[in-house]
Amino acid sequence: MSEHIIVTGANFETEVLNSPVPVLLDFWASWCGPCRMIGPLVEQLAADYSGRLKVGKINVDEEADLASRHSVVSIPTLVVYKDGVIVNQAVGALPKQSIEALFKDLI
């Protein structure tokens, strides 16, 4: 079973801005090769940090407004929120340890 949530414009405030735990957002698209490469890593981190980190997936084709609000011009883009504020972000297919380093000191 998947540990991530699907983030949309409708649930962004509840799931991300008002989250009691840090949130890792993965901006992706089904046609994006690098997105498919890191997808399993993001899923594994969601499982590993369940309860301490929330992982949200944002499909840029379906949620263009959210992608635009986050100035996403290249995918995959990873954005970390804590207490409703962006605290870290990275672009590109990163190894698991580099993705983990984006949030590990926040939990």
Instruction: Give percent helix, percent strand, percent coil of the chain, each to the nearest 5.
Output: 35, 25, 40
Catalytic site includes residue 5: no
C-alpha distance from residue 93 to each of 41, 60, 61, 83 (Å): 10, 16, 19, 26
Catalytic residue (one of 32, 41, 45, 102): 32
Residue 19, helix vs strand vs coil: coil
Catalytic residue among 35, 42, 66, 78: 35
Active site residue 32: yes
Which residues does the annotation mark as catalytic?
A: 32, 35
